[in-house]
Each structure stands twice: as structure tokens, then as C-alpha cells.
Copies of this chain bind each other. A is one copy, B any other.
Amino acid sequence: MTAELPVICAALGDPTRWEILTRLGQGPQSASALAKVLPVSRQAIGKHLDVLRDVGLIESEHRGREVVHLAIGARLGALARELDRIGRSWDTRLLRIKELAESPEPDAPDATD
């Protein structure tokens, strides 16, 4: 599960993708509508939408003769929770290490993550 963390982060790592997400966050739009606003072609946007959909950051539905896409805030929230958890574990680790450094007992150092 945590293995897909780099994947979703990579999806968020592209400026154009962020731009698309931001727009979609303000309301559902079609690829063509986005293409009219953003400085890239419709096809490029289509690919970005594929990536975003793959990691669950957006969903798409047919509406009339076009396909509108909407941003899924919940998925971003899930990612946020995961990252926060990991960040806390790092600090905890450091605290434990400091404690160990001061304690005279050299206990099992290996912690399989």
C-alpha cells in the first residue's frame, strides 16, 4: 500500500497536473474546456487526466456528449494522512535513538519497516 506513495506523489509532481487539478477542484470540466484555458494541447491534458485517474485523484463521467472530470479531495486527504503518519514516525525514531544513546543497554537495533 505504501508502495504506491511514490506513484501518487509523482502524479502530483508535475506543475501542469497541479494546474489541472486546481481547475478541476473548482468544478468539473471537460478536457477540451481545460485545453482552452491551459497552455498545452488537449491531448497532453488527456494524458495527464489518465495519470490522475490512475492514482484516484480524479474521476470522469459522461455528461451529454462530453466527458467531465472532477477532483477527488478525499484521495488527497488520504495521502495527507499517510504522509503525516510517516513524518511522525521519523521524529519518533529520532527520539528513540536519542534515548538509546543515553541508555546503557544496547538492545535489538534492527526494526524491519
Binding site for B on A (CB under 8 A): 5-7, 9-15, 17-18, 22-28, 37, 70-77, 79-84, 86-91, 93-94, 97, 111, 113
Which among B6, B22, B111 is the interface contact of A13 at CB below 8 angstroms? B6
Contacting residues, chain B, for A71 (C-beta < 8 A): 90
Interface of chain A: mostly helix, strand, loop or mixed: helix
- Chain B nearest CB from A30 CB (Å) reads 13
Question: What CA separation (Å) do A72 and B88 show in the bound complex?
Answer: 9
Which among B75, B81, B86 is the interface contact of A25 at CB below 8 angstroms? B86
- The answer to whether A87 touches B76 (Cβ under 8 A) is yes
- The answer to whether B5 touches A9 (Cβ under 8 A) is no
Contacting residues, chain B, for A87 (C-beta < 8 A): 73-77, 80
In the complex, which residue of chain B has the Cβ closest to the Cβ of A19? B6
- The answer to whether A76 touches B80 (Cβ under 8 A) is no
